[in-house]
Amino acid sequence: MSLTKMTFVFTCLFTVSAWAQSDKIARGKYLVEEVARCQECHTPKSADGQFDQTKWLKGATLNIQAIAEVKGWHKTSPDITSTSRLFQRWGDAGLIKFLTTAQNPNGGAAGAPMPAYKMAPADAEAVVEYLKSLK
């Protein structure tokens, strides 16, 4: 195979791979923002009630509370972007496990009010790829 053909083949493979990655991130964004609505708890709001775009998914004080006492109820939500301590501790595999099994890497359950998601592995991977795209 000539050098020109090899270059063309590698360019095509790289381009297809980039498109696939872009599609995965777009799917993750859709799942995070439109299905799970993660921003509702993980993004602070400004005084006018709009999400603070400069702190997108960086964690927030929760503005919801249980009617009756719920053991382990969290008053804040963590930063879930790729630069967070949580992401650094759990890594891709830990976050995927959490999103597919509702258990953290140590086997514990999510603390209330976090829902116990049991996503398909491909969906969890897409969510993680989207979160990794955030800084």
Q: Place 63 in a pLDDT band, splitting at 50, 70 and 90.
A: confident
3-state class percentages of the chain: helix first, strand second, coil last, to nearest 5: 50, 5, 40
Q: Give the 3-state secondary structure of residue 51.
A: strand
Predicted confidence at residue 6, as pLDDT, reads 46
Q: What is the pTM of this model?
A: 0.81
Q: How many domains does the chain have?
A: 1
How much of the chain exceeds pLDDT 70, in percent? 84
Domain range spanning residue 45? 3-133
pLDDT of residue 4 exceeding 70:
no
Contact 127, 32 (CB under 8 A): yes
Compute the Cα dihedral for 121, 125, 126, 130 and give only its sign: positive
Contacts of 46 by beta carbon, 8 Å cutoff, 6+ apart: 52
